[in-house]
Structure 1
Amino acid sequence: MAETSSLAKPGCQDKCGSIIVPYPFGINDVNCAMDSKFLLTCHNGSLSSPRLMLNGIHLLNIDFEQGTAIGHTPIASTCNISTGVNNFDLTGTPFLFSHTQNMLTAIGCDSTAYIEEAQTRIARACTNLCEHRVNLSAQHVCSGVGCSQTQIPRSFKTFNIGVAFLGDHPNSKHFSPCSYAFLADRTWKYFLNTNDLKDITNVRTYSQVVLDWVVSDQTCESAQQQTNANDSSSNARCGTFGYNTQCTNGSTVGYRCICKPGYKGSPYLPDGCIDIDECSDPKKYRCHGTCKNTPGNYNCSCPFGMHGDGKVHCHGIHLFTLMAGAIGSILFLWVLASLYWLYEGQKRRKINKRKKKFFKRNGGFLLEQQISSNKSNIERTKIFTADELEKATDHYNENRILGQGGQGTVYKGMLPDGRIIAVKKSTIIDKGQIEQFSNEVAILSQINHRHIVKLLGCCLETEVPLLVYEFVSHGTLSNHIHDQIEDFPLTWADRLRIATEVAGALAYMHFSASIPIFHRDIKSTNILLDYKYEAKVSDFGISRSVPTEKTHLTTLVQGTLGYLDPEYFRSNQFTEKSDVYSFGVVLVELLTGRKPVSSTRIEDERGLAAHFISAIKEDCLFDVLDAQVAAEGEKEELLAVAELAKRCLKLNGKKRPTMKEVALELESLRKHRENLVGSKNNQAVDCFISIPSHSEAWEASSTLTGYSSSDY
């Protein structure tokens, strides 16, 4: 049998009733505790059984390993009066209320519960105004109607819990006049047999709370440093208390001591941690052979004729059968192994040769050269294997296709860690596509911005190059402007916000990236909307990094008709102002809801930019605005945005504003609008009920139409 050892200081009481009180705690006598703050009181009195008390809290147990204690605290209540308050004070004790395991709970109607510290309310839980009879037993959890919960702050000891009555309700005949507030373990059941809020007299008079405790306010590390410095005044690391101990930091502050693995007892007593005899408890410590106890552990050896880890399993071997078959098997195994080795070697050489061929053809060496100058980018850009992406896309299942275009197909996938991704797979391999593939990886490896689609990595060992992006769930801005998606009609406020986000992303590329980047293909189909309908700029295939000393790029004209800068078209010189012009066209799209080029408009109106500027000059702006935009936007606000778009579309690039100036103006207009809307809806809400955060829905996000491979 394992040795036993008292957890209390020698000669001291170690129990209060059935509750074990371990040292450093002591009962009734300060000499039995480490110091006065660890002293507890055991009340006998006229009670049926003794009670262990701490500053008015009835303790039910003290957990040595977890550093916690369970206790009962009174519940604050009010019935047809203004407030009810209970006070709590753990000052001078090693305990504090656990912020991870306790919740502030309020039960009742037309009332609010709060935690107050130094006359300041630091946490609040509120019950909704009840409109009809509420069945609490059917809810099972606090839903915010008749019952509400909230988290509490970290690391506090002294506070008041109160419940305030908010006033009579027209339907108060359906509800109890009493309301309750308490701090309790989130797993504690606080109802007995309550049916509805008309009768909540079955709520308990006490709540069950979880307390955290530590032996010192220091951390293990700081205590160790002081021990090395021979600071005898501090409660140093655990080795100064007893043998076979180790230090562990508390969940919030301070540290505790525990016995090392393989030992049990009190780590605060000189000989408190004793060895566990594992061999005496075979149900807990498995052994399939001969068990031998060792200090802090045990050994287990398999019986004769068997082998393996006795703690896990033992395998038997028939020696006679092994010897009889050995001579005949050796030759067979040797031949089989030789053939397999030759086959696998040939297979590996073939696979490696194929991978090298694809790596070279897919621009692997060019890609390495472009991103090798910055190691952080290489670490952030993962090289996926073909097998990883095949599994993620369910072998490129047709049901996973998000969109198809001239350059390839975009598939939806899921990585083993649960992340949703978009895999861009090219369909045609030529030199131009390989350069665009490598260029897009190099450009996106330099960018880390919330409104620019994030490149997670690429795959170079397949026949066609693969790019892996974060999944952006709600299609393109073009879909929402021109296809009128019913699930999310673009309001004017949304359009202004999206324009501000895109402008901020372009300003970042032009002015904040390590090397300025020109996008060169800004258009509404290259602006994606994520699950929050926030903008993500995508498709960097023809983008270029431009050293700060250069003002332009001289290239063959590339871009999209309707968005192309006329000055660039004439001169073959692309500048940062060329991106400004393309953004101006997107801004006009958001204002008018019209496409940049349309064969259905008359000859003079086919180009949206020229038609828009003409409308402004003829004072006909509101004739070309989208009906929803005209109805929702303030006149001065719309005129300001239209004027900004007009400046972006100036034929002389030098007269256009920079993207930084555009972003600042749009942000200013957006804040002005938010302040204006806020002043019109000046109704304060005193209590807030938290709701779950929105998450990406796997199936719902795949129903959007209009995706194309160029979206990424």
Structure 2
Amino acid sequence: MFFQFLICIFSWLTFASAAPPQTKLGCQSTCGDVSIPYPFGIGVGCYQNSELALECNKSFTPPRLLLGNIPVRNISLLSGTMTIAFLVSFNCYNKDGTSSGKFSQKMTLASLFTFSDTRNKLTAIGCDTYAVMSDGSGDIFQSGCISFCQNSDNVVEGSCSSIGCCQTAIPMGLKTLNVSLSSFYNHSNSWAYNPCSYAFLADSEQFKFSRSDLKNFTGIGPEIDNQISFLAVLDWVVGNETCEKAQTNLTSYACGDNSYCDDYHNTNGYRCTCPYGYEGNPYLANGCQGLCLRQGGLCKAKKVTTACIRPWWRWGWGILLLLFVAIAFWFYGKLKKRRALQRRQELFKRNGGLLLQQQISSGESNVEKTKIFVTEELEKATDNFNENRVLGRGGSGTVYKGMLPDGRIVAIKKSKLVDETQIGQFINELVILSEINHKNIVKVIGCCLETEVPLLVYEYVSRGTLSEHLHGKNFISSISWEDRLGICKEIAGALTYLHSSLSTPIFHRDVKSSNILLDENFKAKVSDFGISRSVPYEQTHLSTLVQGTFGYLDPEYFHSGQFTEKSDVYGFGVVLVELLTGQKPISNTRSEEEANLAMHFISSVKEDRVLQILETRIANEARKEEIQIVASLAKKCLKIVGKKRPTMKEVLIQLENLRVFQHQESLRLLTEE
């Protein structure tokens, strides 16, 4: 096969002539400096699908190619991408902190287009900035990033790591995107060198941050209605069906002769590709042109490769070749198994396996109870990590449901990225969980270290996350007031244990409702210790990179870069407010003033409007005194200045006092009856 491929390449180099056409005959091939390959086109009959119809607006100099009202800068058949201009969202302030202008970008794509998750990143610029992106309703996904800097001298030229600039990945399959901005201090502390926040979707190959962007960001895309833009990338398909289904209807099937069909990974749909040995436009009839025929050979286009078969082959040579190939494959199989074993051993060492074995053999800690699984065990437990087994996806990875040979149901966490940071977080989580023994903290069962992405196996908790029950459409108001108070106390107890009961305190650093699991009795278990830290008493943890989840992060942590136990208290305060209101920490469906739940709650307490923002079930079930006690506690946890916040131990005591109050009230009511 390799020899045949070389013949095809040689023939292409020898006989290549003028490049095959990219546009339908008689159709416009360019607009300004942008080429227009079919299946895109301008005018009836020049495009394959109405969603791929383009317009050339000649009122601009040079003329501007448009998809609807979106400027197009490049179309690639090879990668299946389109580079577009994406309007930059901004939020600017006057020196006194009043608004001087703002804009939030909202874009919905046609069915054949998707925002590229491999090329784009949500990017924000500013020194008092938090950017939020979500789908149209905010129900499917919501994420963002925060950028902070005390002065322009702290900003590193070219670095986008949350000091003056921040970035975060976007999910696969995204077709609707809302981008909005807000700030903590209305840029009052940074106005002289940074009066505005900016947020946009950026092609990661095009973006490079500059310190000058803080004062006057100009973007690199074309100006649209006097607003700046940046270049973003869309993935596109030629049809919404799978290849198998599309090929059943040859009338609408978009792939030309000598081309093959490819299912698209990011969403439903397919693309067309010229096979090896061919070049041209796979969407045009006879668009893929092979050159092996010019040597007198026979070119057969298959789905994946093209083989150039010369007529001088004879049966004898063919039998010898087949024998040689069979022997070669046997040796290759042996070599492949040996390399696979070596690779697994290398990964085991890289992922800390030798250190873990040493800890197990020494018996110095609870790590000896941790089982080391082999890859095949966890693949079998999860049906090869079948998508149907996914329990949830988060910033640090994906969690699968699995069943071990002894019948135990477990949750298996697979890290999202393969880099040293993720591996370090995984080992950190394993070590921390192995040392913890608390009924309200998820138990670790074992791990697998011989894979590219390390795996953590822990106990399965049946009812999912607290976030799902508070915000999921199928679970809204599923938790009673009594159970919510119990959940509060259990979370506080777990965090108090981490902060106060261990020889070296542990800061969780990512306290949020999606990291609280619920069992069949609605008992809470704190999970996901991927970015937790063990910190000696009387010390705080100084971070070079702010980590955590948007909406739960302590503003003081942004300002100082120091994470303390009081920062966990802030996250717990946000969870308290979620339990009272049933609302998400960040939401684009609320007004800009109410988008941040913690800020909205604090202003509601000050204005004595707490009862107006309660979830309906809570308003009906809870006593007014109970609401006042919990609301007051949440307000204390959310104080901006960390030193004024209570410790988790003090929070737990107040929640236990609330239980005593409930008991006394119940006795009083019984006595009155």
**If the TM-score is normalised by the length of the shorter chain, which range does it land in?**
0.3 to 0.5
Q: Which structure has the bigger radius of gyration?
A: 1
